[in-house]
Amino acid sequence: MRKSWFFLSLLLLASLVSCTSVYYKTMEKLGKEKRDILVQRIKDSKKDQEQTKQQIQTTMEKFQELTGFQGGDLEKNYKKLNDEYERAEGQANKLHDRIKSIDQVSSDLFSEWQKEIDEMRNPQLKSRSTALLKDSKDRQALYMKAMQKTEDQMKPVLAAFHDQVLFLKHNLNARAIGSLKGTSAKINADVTALTKSIDSSMAEADRLIASLSQPDSQ
């Protein structure tokens, strides 16, 4: 049984590697190198981050509106909050996938870059390329650290929203809603910290793009 799983894992890995190689070759034919792909994915991640930030803030606003309920259709207001929470969760998942794709293409780019440096014979050019590679690696590490921090801060925010949504689903009445006012401030503080973290990681994205866009790089 273990052998079967082992060979299945190898086949899956080989399939993924093959698909990735085909993708890179196809993009090369279109004039897009790994560096171009990486830069585009980082730019796309910035858009995802901005959308995620806006959605988290919108969800927080809906939650605050509901906990400050002054009368009206409770069911309707709850559904609006639930819809916003689901959108926030979807944005977070999309951003997670984007981070993984950036990490993969970064690794592939840096491996190729190092291999090409090893082939160089001119000491000065080799030294310059090595320095540029190190700078890009350092920038990528800072960027990934910032993105991971954002993800780590996002998890408890989404978990808190999820708990509140489920509680309201089970206790959809004015008294239950009023009992959540105390948690609103805590969640809002976490949302504020999260939005600052997103802004910081977007700034790191700009610095990484700049390092990859230097004329002498790769």
Residues, the chain: 218
The answer on 8 and 61 residing in a single domain is no
The answer on 46 and 137 residing in a single domain is yes
Structural domains counted in the chain? 2
The answer on 79 and 6 residing in a single domain is no
The answer on 67 and 6 residing in a single domain is no
Q: Is 31 left (phi over 0), alpha (psi -120 to 50) or beta?
A: left
**Residue bearing tokens 């006012």:** 181
Model confidence band, residue 183 (pLDDT cutoffs 50, 70, 90): confident
**Looking at the domain assignment, is residue 217 inside a domain?**
no
Q: Give the pLDDT confidence of 119-147 residue by residue, as tens digits.
A: 999 999 999 999 999 999 999 999 999 99
Supply the pTM of this predicted model.
Answer: 0.79
Domain extent, residue 159, equals 33-212
- pLDDT for 74 equals 77
Residue, of 74 and 170, whose pLDDT is higher: 170
**Looking at the domain assignment, is residue 164 inside a domain?**
yes
**Looking at the domain assignment, is residue 168 inside a domain?**
yes
**Looking at the domain assignment, is residue 15 inside a domain?**
yes
The answer on 6 and 78 residing in a single domain is no
**Looking at the domain assignment, is residue 218 inside a domain?**
no
- pLDDT for 51 equals 95
The answer on 73 and 12 residing in a single domain is no
Give the list of residues 6+ apart from residue 153 with CB closer than 8 angstroms, or none. 190, 193, 194, 197
